[in-house]
Amino acid sequence: MALSDMRALQEEGHGESHDYVHGSPHLKHPELRSWITERILATVRASVPPGTRPRVLEVGAGHGSLTEHLLEAGAQVVVTEMSGPSTDILRARFAATDVVVVHDPDGDVPVEGDFDVVVYLSVLHHIPDYLAAVESVIGRLRPGGAFVSFQDPLWYPRLRRRSRLAARGVYLAWRLGQGEFRRGLGTVARRLRGVYDDTHPSDMIEYHVMRQGVDERALRDLLAPHFTSVEILPYFSTQSRAGQRLGRRAIAPNTFGLVAAGRTDLR
């Protein structure tokens, strides 16, 4: 998928009326949301000496759910967003603050200066060449800084088939429960045939299925030479509330977070 295609998708699917919470496990499930938020904030706090205000770059901020927490934690925040309507919402929401909102229609993170932390929350799987994007952005980190990413699907070929099918079944049960039987059935039929329709919103919103998820080990290997530690944090997530409770206890992780800390000065 080209960046122009992704931009069109963002504009179509993430307008002013879009509900990010409805389809986002990391936003709709309080326990999961709390764990992810606290882990990100702990990393932000650890990136600078006590009493220092950290400078944070949040790439793909959506409507600013995480931005609010970063601001409350005392960070100086710069956010980027590809969707024009979402950018307008961010600017209105944070108009009375010093949050800097940057419209990024080309996905090249056009911001200035260095940062203590770079955060991607449910973003990497939307980027066609996510490895190149990460490699580019870590050059904006100060020595000792951190790179954080959460809510991306684990690399499918390394998942056990039984666990992958269970996670997929929970997701499809949720999708059908939204009254989208025909849409869901059509999506399943195309995936069983290995066919993906770039004109169909449900296919392209989850187009990471085409490339087998996100390769967490490739990200680790990319980041390891530039940081003193790189930690992969696998966990289970799904849109269904009942499925989330079941999955945490009985289904292997299908999602991951990644925290790379202690940026070394190798520029």
CA–CA separation, 77 and 68 (whole Å): 10
At 247 the pLDDT is: 87
Task: Please compute the mean of the pLDDT values over residues 79-90 and round it to a whole number.
Answer: 93
pLDDT tens figures, 125-137: 888 899 999 999 9
Indicate the pairing of strand 115-121 with strand 55-59: parallel
pLDDT(9) > 90 = no
- As annotated, the residues of the chain forming the CATH 3.40.50.150 domain(s) are 3-155+211-263
Angle subtended at Cα 145 by Cα 137 and Cα 34, rounded to the nearest 5 degrees: 90
Right CATH number for 3-155+211-263 from 3.40.50.150, 3.40.50.1820, 1.20.1300.10, 3.40.50.720? Answer: 3.40.50.150
Cβ atoms within 10 Å of 232's Cβ, excluding its own? 14
| 54-65 per-position pLDDT tens digit | 999 999 999 999
Compute the distance between CA of residue 78 and CA of residue 60 in angstroms, rounded to an integer: 11
| 258: number of Cβ within 10 Å | 22
Of the candidate ranges 86-95, 160-169, 189-198, the one whose mean pLDDT is the lowest? 189-198
Q: Taking the model in full, what pTM does it have? A: 0.86
